[in-house]
Amino acid sequence: HIRRKIQKLEEEIEDVRRIRQIQRSKRVKSRIPLVCLVGYTNAGKSTLLNLLTDAGVHAENRLFDTLDPTTKLMETEDMGELLISDTVGFIRKLPHHLIDAFRATLEELTFADVLVHVIDASDPSFQMQTEIVEKLINDLGAAGTPVIRAYNKTDLLSEEELPRAREAVCISAKTGENVGLLLRAIKDALGRAEREVSFILPYGDARLLDMLYRDAHVLSAEYEEGGIAVKAKCGAAVCGKLKKYLPEEPKEPWED
């Protein structure tokens, strides 16, 4: 009976992985940047997701309260659309069999454009927790992804107790304090993740060329009969604004 139950759970995990693979392919084609929230358990990831996207995700102080990650669309003025994804909370000495069980959830980290490491700055052990999470990020193969440390729950700390670190923002997901600074840090990180794109920009939207020269690296811009043939290196945020002009990528085999 136990073996049958294990087999059923393993099949369900494989189904989750397959569905997420299809969803990921569609997201890549839409060119919407993905921001993953990671952190030690109960650091406030779900609360931050609710603040950013009005997701209405249940947030409670319980171990593994978020097992199936929630991904929500967020509209921003200067970055276009973003996808914000919550993930399972990490713990100290996370057993390998649990890592395997959660891999369908955790592997999303390796496809993120930016990781926001949410840290409970009010916890006396936050430095140890930070090290544990960053080691697991490396173990999962996401070491090359830009990481922003978001020291959360700073509404519980005095000015003297606030952490000081580079590539970090002190926030309160509960009160909304400094969330604007976090979004600015996300924008900066997305801008550093560039890729080369080629597309035709209609003359009716030629004003976007000024934005490209300002926020991207324009390699060439040729004026043709049907529009401006542009080749540029763009960050994820700029690609998000241009997604309707970028050519569709070929279908994956599982989409036929």
Largest CA distance in the chain: 69
Q: Which residues pair with 85 in a beta bridge?
A: 36, 71
Tens of pLDDT, residues 204-250? 998 899 888 887 888 899 999 999 999 998 876 677 778 788 876 54
- Stated length of the chain: 256
Instruction: Encode pLDDT of 122-178 as tens digits.
Output: 999 999 999 988 888 887 777 778 899 999 999 999 988 888 877 789 999 999 999
Q: Look at strands 217-224 and 227-235 and give their pairing.
A: antiparallel
* pTM for the predicted model, two decimal places: 0.67
How far is C-alpha 223 from the chain's CA centre?
36
CA distance 112 to 35: 6
Distant-in-sequence contacts of 16-24, Cβ < 8 A, 24+ apart: 16/68, 16/104, 16/105, 17/103, 17/104, 17/107, 18/254, 20/104, 20/107, 20/108, 21/254, 22/252, 22/254, 22/255, 24/108, 24/111
